[in-house]
Amino acid sequence: MPLTPPSALVRGERHFRWRGGDVSRIEALSDIVFALVLTLVILAEVPHTLDQLSESIWHLPSIVICWAILLWFWHLHYLFHRRYGFEDVFTMAWNSVLLCLILIFAYPLKFMFLTLTYYLGYAMGLALPDVAIEILNSGNGTQSSNLMLFYCASFGLIFSLFALLNWHALRRASELGLNEIELHLTRASMGANRVCVALSVAAIALVLLVPMGIPLAGMSFGLLGPLLWMQGMRAERGLQVLLEKNHS
C-alpha cells in the first residue's frame, strides 16, 4: 500500500492522515464528560477564612497531578478519534464504558494524591490542617489496600480499553486504508497501552502478595515514564526504518 503523500496529510501529525472529519456526536459527548471530570477534580468550596484558605492550598499538588493525568487520557482519546474517525456501534459501546470508568476514577484519584500530599507534609514536619490529621488517623491497612487496588485496577482497565480501541482500528485497517507507517504508529499506541496495563497488574500483585506492598505499588508507577520513553524510542526506531525504506 503506498504511503500517504505529504500533500494529503491533515494537520496534527506528520506521518498520519487524520480520517476524523467534523466533531462527531461521540466526541462531543466525550468532551462534556471530560469537562465534568476536570470540574469534579478541581471543584471545592470557596474559602471564607484564612484557615480554610490554608487548607485549600494542600489540594493544589493533587489537583495539578490529576489535571495532568486526565489531560493525558483526553489527548489519547482525541488522537484516536482524529486518526480513525470511527462512529460504529463497537466504538460507541466501548467509548461509553471508557468514559464511565474515567468518571468513576476521578474522585479516588484526587483523594489518593491528596492523602499522599498529607503524608509527605507529615514526613517533612509541616503543620497539617485538622482534616488532614483526621484522614491520616482514620486510614487503616485494609482501607489503604482497597484504595490502591481500586486505583491500579481502574488505571489498568482504562488503558485496556484504549488498547481495545486501537485493536479495532488494526482490525479495520484495510477499510481505513492504513499504510505501513500508520499501521506501525497504531501498533506503537497499542504497545504504550500495554505497558500501562502491565504496570497496573504488577502494582496489584505487589499490593496482594508483598508485605509493605502498598508503598511499593505506588512507587512502581514512577517507572511509567521511563518505560513509556523506552517503548517510544523503540517505536521511533521502527518509524525511521520505514521512512528510509520509503525514500530508498
CB distance 74 to 32 below 8 Å: no
| Residue 94 grid coordinates | 466501548
Q: What is the largest CA-CA distance in the chain?
A: 69
Q: Give the 3-state secondary structure of 165-199.
A: HHHHHHHCHHHHCCCHHHHHHHHHHHHHHHHHHHH
Threshold 0.85, pTM exceeds:
no
Predicted pLDDT at 10:
44
- State pLDDT tens for residues 127-173: 777 666 666 666 555 777 888 888 899 999 999 999 999 999 999 99
Predicted pLDDT at 5:
44
- State pLDDT tens for residues 177-228: 999 999 999 999 999 999 999 999 999 999 899 887 777 888 888 899 999 9
In which residue are the cell numbers 500517504 written? 4
Phi, psi of 5 (to 5 degrees): -65, 150
Q: Mean per-residue pLDDT for 115-119?
A: 77
User: Over the chain, what is the mean pLDDT?
Assistant: 82
